[in-house]
Amino acid sequence: MSGGLGEDWGEVVEGALSRLIPVYDRMNRVMSFGRDLEWRLKGIRAAFGGGELVLDAGCGPGVMTDAWWRVYPSSKPIMLDALKEMLEVAHRRVSDKAATGVRGVFEALPFRDSCFDGVMMGFSFR
């Protein structure tokens, strides 16, 4: 008997997340009792001083990056997500800002070590 999803985990997770794209924002709002934006802004203000090169790991539809720009409008965070479709949604959300989206997963980050001043995540680890 094997444990976990093994090598199939990527397909299973991507398939599940792809189906959630249309309701992802609403789902986060409901699960946080409408406080998700407040929590994001509070976390950003508490953890960062502004101007940093920051990675939005598991950016999803770009809500955390959008919140970041409410606090630090002149910075340029990098958005990382495993799903091409999520990056497309994120780019539409932040289209009036200079955003860079990168497709990748946490387990094999496509960046040099220590190239970011900080990393932020909205609901990536639930």
On the 0-12 / 13-18 / 19+ scale of CB atoms within 10 A, 90 is buried
Q: Which residue has the tokens 């502004």?
A: 50
pLDDT tens column, 23-79: 777 777 777 787 888 988 999 999 888 767 899 999 989 999 999 989 988 888 899
Is domain 8-120 given the CATH code 3.30.9.10 in the classification? no
Confidence of residue 125 (pLDDT cuts 50, 70, 90): low
pTM of the predicted model as reported, rounded to 2 decimal places: 0.77
Q: Which of 38, 40, 43 is nearest to 61 (CA)?
A: 40
Give CA–CA dist 103/87, Å, rounded: 7
Name the β-bridge partners of 81.
103
